[in-house]
Structure 1
Amino acid sequence: MEYKDRITLEAGKRSGQPCIRGLRMTVGDILSYLAAGMSHEEVLEDFPYLEEEDILAALAYAAEEMNNTLVVKAAA
């Protein structure tokens, strides 16, 4: 899934968090709903301005961010 056309970063919106198509809905919001057990259909029903591709973009963005995570271990 190519998410780069759907995920936006704006310094003045939601503290610069990644948002869906410039809306005030963040990637984290969508992930939280899914983690709480909501289905894609339930999310889309509760937020009719979202599209299935927005949910897939949020998941793709999160997956890529996890692959880019760098763990730094402090010296003992």
Structure 2
Amino acid sequence: MDYKDYIESNAAIMLGKPIVKGTRITVALVLKKMSEGATAEDLIAAYPQLTFASISAVLAYASDMAANETIIPAA
């Protein structure tokens, strides 16, 4: 799966935060809900615009962002 098929950033939508395409649901919201214990099924029930594929894309996007994060060493 290529998360770019599901995730976009557009300055005109949610101030350019990464969102699930076709929605105003941010990647951050999905990650926050999941970190609080929500399952994919819970998210889809609360946000019917989401799919299992789009939730997987959010996780893949977050993983990619974390893997490519630049670490600035302490002085």
1:65 deviates by: 0.2
* Number of the residue aligned with 1:20: 20
Cα RMSD, aligned residues only = 1.1
The structure in which a higher percent of residues are helix is 2
Q: Which runs of 5+ in 1 are unaligned?
A: none
Q: Which runs of 5+ in 2 are unaligned?
A: none
* Number of the residue aligned with 1:72: 72
CA distance in structure 1 between the aligned counterparts of 2:73 and 2:55, rounded to whole angstroms: 33
1:25 deviates by: 0.3
Kept in 1: contact 2:13–2:24 (CA 8 A): yes
The answer to whether residue 55 in structure 2 is matched with residue 51 in structure 1 is: no
* Number of the residue aligned with 2:36: 36
TM-score, normalization by structure 1 = 0.91
User: Is the partner of 1:24 in helix, strand or coil?
Assistant: coil
- One-letter identity of the residue aligned with 1:6: Y
Kept in 2: contact 1:44–1:51 (CA 8 A): yes
- One-letter identity of the residue aligned with 1:11: A
TM-score, normalization by structure 2 = 0.92
In the comparison of the two structures, how many residue pairs are matched?
A: 75
- One-letter identity of the residue aligned with 2:44: L
Q: Percent same amino acid among aligned pairs?
A: 35
Kept in 2: contact 1:20–1:26 (CA 8 A): yes
Work out which of the two has the higher radius of gyration on C-alpha atoms and give 1 or 2: 1
CA distance in structure 1 between the aligned counterparts of 2:22 and 2:51, rounded to whole angstroms: 13
